[in-house]
């Protein structure tokens, strides 16, 4: 396992997930159903499926692009993620209404998977998988990062979110994304 890919992926996604719409969805599902274990299981499976596909896409992209084009694309992607992370997400009621009559686990699995499509943590997984030659380590790291951020949300609910300095966490995550982007653009490869 590529430990650098695993640890960077875990840290970046943990921070990026704070206040993200999928974390807000975890709060909402926990408040609505009050059954933490099927919610956590649904989040876990949805994340593995979603980030597994994102990791495969990131790896596939590396076969299509030259190393120079890929470097510029990845650098710009990480800088874009830095900016995107500074803007808080809002949850749409339709995210919580999808598959409502299917039970807690299936509802969580479906809504979380759908909400994660095109989300910043999924895009980060694509970029991280394209940057590292260890997609399994990236997917394991991003999945762990999602669980670190979302499991407390399920157990502690909305009061947990009110106590976190979300703006500061977003700024730290944005800083990490920006640093990664600049390191890639300036070819500082010993960091990767």
Give every CB contact of residue 18 below 8 A, 6+ residues apart in sequence: 149, 164, 166, 169, 170, 173
pLDDT in tens, 16-64: 888 788 888 888 888 888 889 999 999 999 999 999 999 999 999 989 9
* Sequence-ordered list of residues with C-beta below 8 angstroms from that of 118, at least 6 positions apart, any chain: none
Q: Per-residue pLDDT for 169 more than 80?
A: no
- Please give the structure tokens belonging to residue 191: 């960091």
Angle among Cα 114, 120, 124 to the nearest 5 degrees reads 115
pLDDT value for 191: 44
Could you give the percent of the chain with pLDDT greater than 70?
83
**Average pLDDT of the chain?**
84
Contact 134, 1 (CB under 8 A): yes
Model confidence pLDDT, tens digit, residues 91-120: 555 544 544 556 899 999 999 999 898 888
pLDDT of residue 58: 93
Model-level pTM? 0.77
Q: Length of the chain, please?
A: 192
> Do residues 160 and 166 make contact, with C-beta atoms less than 8 angstroms apart?
no
Please classify residue 65 by burial: count the beta carbons closer than 10 Å to its beta carbon, then call 0-12 exposed, 13-18 middle and 19+ buried: middle
Q: CA torsion sign, 45 to 50 to 51 to 52?
A: positive
**CA nearest neighbour of 46 among 98, 94, 100, 117:** 117
- The residues near 85 (Cβ < 8 Å, ≥ 6 apart) are 16, 120, 170, 173, 174, 177
Residue 91 has a pLDDT of 54
């Amino acid at each position: 396992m590529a430990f650098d890919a695993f640890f960077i992926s875990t840290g970046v996604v943990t921070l990026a997930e704070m206040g993200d719409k999928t974390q807000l969805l975890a709060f909402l599902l926990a408040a609505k159903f009050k059954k933490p274990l099927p919610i956590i299981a649904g989040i876990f499976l949805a994340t593995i499926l979603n980030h597994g596909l994102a990791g495969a896409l990131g790896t596939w992209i590396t076969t299509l692009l030259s190393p120079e084009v890929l470097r510029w694309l990845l650098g710009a992607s990480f800088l874009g993620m830095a900016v995107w992370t500074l803007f808080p997400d809002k949850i749409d009621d339709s995210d919580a209404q999808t598959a409502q009559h299917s039970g807690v686990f299936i509802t969580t699995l479906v809504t979380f998977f759908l909400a994660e499509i095109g989300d910043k943590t999924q895009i980060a997984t694509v970029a991280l998988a394209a940057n590292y030659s260890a997609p399994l380590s990236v997917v394991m790291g991003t999945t762990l990062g999602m669980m670190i951020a979302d499991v407390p949300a399920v157990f502690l609910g909305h009061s947990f979110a009110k106590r976190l300095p979300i703006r500061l966490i977003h700024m730290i995550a944005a800083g990490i994304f920006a640093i990664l982007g600049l390191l890639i653009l300036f070819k500082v490869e010993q960091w990767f």
